[in-house]
Amino acid sequence: MKVTKKVLGFLILAVIVGACQQKSNVGLSQSEKTGWKYNSPRSGFFNVKSKYDGKVPPGTVYISTMASVRGQNEDPVSSLKNDLKRRVGVSGYFLDEFEVTNINWREYEAWMRGVYRHDPRKILLAMPDETVWREELAYNEPFVLNYYSHVAYGFYPVVGVSWQQAMDYCTWRTDRVNERILIDRKIIEFNDLETINANIENVDESEYSSFIFSTAHKNDYLRAYNGDEDPGIDLDGVIFDAEFRLPTEAEWEYAAYGIIPIKSNVEEGHTYPWSGSQLRRMDNKKTQGRFYANFKRREGDLIGNEINNTLTVPVDFFPPNEYGLYNMAGNVNEWVLDVYRATSNELVNDMNSFRGNVYPSDSAYAEHILRRLPPMEEEQRDSMRNMLILEKKFKVSGRDVRNFRDGDLASSLRDSVLVYNDATPIEKANMISDNARVYKGGSWKDRVLWLNPSKRRWLDQNGRANDIGFRCAMSAVGNTKANNY
């Protein structure tokens, strides 16, 4: 039989592919470094997962990012100087399709009411401030009484929620999503809220983690569930590998524009989360003339009031951007994770740009490591903790870097960099608050200027307003071929 060059080439390619596959398969069944078998108690000692498929958090959209230019991209004459341009990159992440709604928040409150019925303070701290609708010279009492609680506003964005409350919600949501997975996998049993409350009502708060599932204390919970024995369950890849949080400013801004890159290139920039500079739709006859967002056109002329007889509108009222995200402009502003500084040309990383890190003490991280070990007596545990702190030089104190290299006098002297020489006295005064958090997006009562995703303002992290809501984000772990849970 005559072997053509084409056939020969195919055979060589098949051998190469087979060799590659064989080499890859070694890693699945045994160690290519020691020869010991994996996942085989009689001929090995190491159980390992070699395949990972990420899960998509419920209600979110995956944002696969690339390097992009952040900051001012419209007429600079009417622009503030706190959004100067710079190029940054962001790792892949998930972002909520919709803003968190009143129903979403009422679900959270219902859980808090059930679990902490013996501690009304925790319930009150979880409730939004409905009085944010009150104005000295406006009659908004119907919103005070009805906006959060009435069925008519269930799918409207929740407001009156502080930055800190939004972060607490993100933590709670992480725990409930992971708890649901473990119940569905029959790793733990379902406990109703009345049972949980009965379990914690008469114990110290430090013992709550034995009765309430929390992702941060998952091993403690599983050990309590299994009678203080080592649960022997590897949760990597079973529950979500990252936690819900607020998006960073860089993540939020990139997602808001919704520009889909073509072969890793962006052919045009956007002024708003939609293509072009028009505020009304012109793409087809059925929707021609409709607004893209809910905002204030001029004094007394609010889009939401004109088209929906209210101030805000349902979270799916207007069309999404190219990423499938709704209301990234207008309706309500949205909290982001960052601490605010008055100009944006500070020395920040060009990858995963963020200001706001507060690292816990390394002794707390030592506890995180100790939770991975088998149960031990407290005396031995103390010895292990001291070894990590003393012998491995773990620091006992944490580190707050919210004001690191932010341009004030102290950091200028320390870092030998004067970042904000051109800042005004008011801007310099605003720089020093480490509790000032950024919000973006524009709202039902904002003029069109604020609909540009580069625009940024701030409010104290415990402040609340009738035009600020939020959506959650989650970092992607591993590959981007995520499968729905």
Range 336-341 average pLDDT: 91
Residue 363's pLDDT band, with cuts at 50, 70 and 90, is low
Q: How many CB atoms lie within 10 A of CB 138?
A: 9
- How high is the pLDDT of residue 430? 52
CA distance 238 to 55: 9
- Same domain? 115 vs 241: yes
32 domain-assigned: yes
On the question of pLDDT at 206 being above 80, the answer is yes
Higher pLDDT, 182 or 413: 182
- Same domain? 72 vs 172: yes
Nearest to 438 by CA among 172, 246, 158: 246
Which of 16, 35, 51 is where one domain is finished? 51
- Same domain? 276 vs 364: no
On the question of pLDDT at 377 being above 60, the answer is yes
Higher pLDDT, 262 or 300: 300
340 domain-assigned: yes
18 domain-assigned: yes
Least confident of 38-42, 365-369, 474-478: 365-369
Q: pLDDT tens-digit profile of 214-273? A: 998 887 788 788 776 655 677 878 899 899 999 999 999 999 988 876 655 555 567 888
Q: What angle do CA 241, 244, 249 make, to 5 degrees?
A: 120
Residue 447's pLDDT band, with cuts at 50, 70 and 90, is very high
228 domain-assigned: no
Domain count of the chain? Answer: 3
Q: What angle do CA 229, 234, 239 make, to 5 degrees?
A: 115
CA distance 364 to 217: 13
On the question of pLDDT at 7 being above 50, the answer is no
Residue pointed to by tokens 């406990």 = 191
Residue 426's pLDDT band, with cuts at 50, 70 and 90, is low
Range 372-389 average pLDDT: 81
On the question of pLDDT at 433 being above 80, the answer is no
DSSP characters for 201-241? Answer: TTS-GGGGGGTS--GGGHHHHHHHHTTSS------TTTS-S
Q: How many CB atoms lie within 10 A of CB 185?
A: 12
- How high is the pLDDT of residue 112? 98
Contact between 362 and 394 (Cβ < 8 Å): yes
On the question of pLDDT at 404 being above 60, the answer is yes
76 domain-assigned: yes
Q: Which residues contact 483 (CB under 8 A, 6 or more apart)?
A: 53, 54, 55, 56
206 domain-assigned: no
- Same domain? 136 vs 175: yes
CA torsion 214-218-220-223 (nearest 10°) is 130
Average pLDDT, the chain: 81
Contact between 214 and 249 (Cβ < 8 Å): no
- Same domain? 40 vs 63: no
Q: How many CB atoms lie within 10 A of CB 316?
A: 14
On the question of pLDDT at 74 being above 80, the answer is no
pTM: 0.83
Where is 117: in which H helix or E strand?
none
Phi-psi region of 10 (alpha: psi -120 to 50; beta: other; left: phi over 0): alpha
Q: pLDDT tens-digit profile of 174-202? A: 999 999 999 999 999 999 999 999 999 99
> Which of 53-62, 98-107, 432-441 has the largest mean confidence?
98-107
Where is 342: in which H helix or E strand?
none
- Same domain? 111 vs 256: yes
Owning domain of residue 4: 1-51
- Same domain? 171 vs 248: yes
124 domain-assigned: yes
- Same domain? 278 vs 386: no
Q: pLDDT tens-digit profile of 305-336? A: 989 999 999 999 999 999 999 999 999 999 99
Nearest to 482 by CA among 92, 27, 49: 92
- Same domain? 317 vs 277: yes
Residue 465's pLDDT band, with cuts at 50, 70 and 90, is very high
Residue 13's pLDDT band, with cuts at 50, 70 and 90, is very low
CATH number at residue 350: 3.90.1580.10
Nearest to 163 by CA among 360, 403, 342, 336: 336
Q: How much of the chain, in percent, has pLDDT values that exceed 70?
A: 75
On the question of pLDDT at 161 being above 70, the answer is yes
- Same domain? 143 vs 128: yes
- Same domain? 17 vs 32: yes
- How high is the pLDDT of residue 20? 44
Contact between 270 and 259 (Cβ < 8 Å): yes
386 domain-assigned: yes
Amino acid code (one letter) for 19: A
- Same domain? 24 vs 95: no
